[in-house]
Amino acid sequence: MRYLVAIPVYNEAATVPAVLAEVRKYARDLLVIDDGSTDDTSRLLYTEPGLFRVHHRVNLGYGQSLIDAFRFAICRDYDWLITLDCDEQHEPAWIMDFLRAALDDDADIISGSRYLKNLQGNSHPPPDRRAINQKITDLLNEVLGLGITDAFCGFKAYRVAALRRLNITVPGYGMPLQFWVQAVREGLRIREIPVRLIYHDADRRFGGSLDDADARLLYYYDVLIHELARSVVKATPAQPISEGPCGGYQEC
């Protein structure tokens, strides 16, 4: 099984060396998407040997970083793609749990959940983030019949063949809402596995208007409603991710 680990980064100079060092223990093929970092992240990445790098000249958004990771995995014919964040909220050692689940199960999406089990060492999430996650998760379960416990965890494993059937276009933090709607529409098989809940910085910001919890929730609702409407109408045929550009990748 060929698998790729992809990490979106934006101004993660304080954590990226340690995270990459830990991820290398569990993965040979590693992709980092530098989403227009303005700190020392870009320089640090150039000192890291043996990794693939996508560099955005400006900040395009978390969703766009994942879209690039999807395209890269598809173009390079990987079997599985594993994504995790670079803020030390995801423990790279858990990559092995995703790989075991990929080998043992027939799932297309293996989604980490910070709320599936109360694991030893769990943190307490910021109240507004937990409340929004719960509201959106409950809504997705009601509307889509999902039965998940964590709508926004970025620690996931994707069967790359399944990604070819999706048309993800939302560049920002609302991308998971579009993803869940399309995953259900395409009949993808979804499984959750528990991961530890870690918050080192409860004050970490989203940026701009999304720092306001009410504005963030309305933004998520808007993305969800738009994607549900598109799925019902289907006025425009979806362009599979696999038809996106495969060039422009740099190997360090």
Tell me: the pLDDT tens digits for 118-159? 888 877 888 998 999 999 999 999 999 999 999 999 999 999
Give residue-wise pLDDT tens across range 152-196: 999 999 999 999 999 999 999 999 999 999 999 999 999 999 998
Q: Are 242 and 168 in contact (CB under 8 A)?
A: no
CA-based nearest residue to 130, from 156, 151, 155, 157: 151
Q: Are 101 and 110 in contact (CB under 8 A)?
A: yes
Task: Tell me the mean pLDDT in the region 204-220.
Answer: 86
State the total domains in the chain: 1
Rounded to a whole number of angstroms, the CA Rg of the chain reads: 17
* Other CB atoms within 10 Å distance of the CB of residue 238: 17
Distance CA 89, CA 205 (A): 14
The pLDDT-based confidence of 69 (bands split at 50, 70, 90) is very high
Tell me 110's DSSP state. E
Q: Are 34 and 48 in contact (CB under 8 A)?
A: no
Structure tokens at 230: 């598109």
The pLDDT-based confidence of 240 (bands split at 50, 70, 90) is low
Q: What is the pLDDT of residue 122?
A: 79
- Domain ranges, residue 130: 3-251
Distance CA 229, CA 234 (A): 8
Give residue-wise pLDDT tens across range 17-33: 999 999 999 999 999 99
pLDDT, averaged across the chain: 91
Q: Are 115 and 129 in contact (CB under 8 A)?
A: no
**Strand 190-194 with 109-113, pairing:** parallel
Q: What is the pLDDT of residue 243?
A: 47
Question: CATH code at 182?
Answer: 3.90.550.10
Q: How far is CA 19 from CA 69, 173, 218, 250, in A?
A: 18, 22, 33, 20
pLDDT at residue 53 is higher than 70 = yes
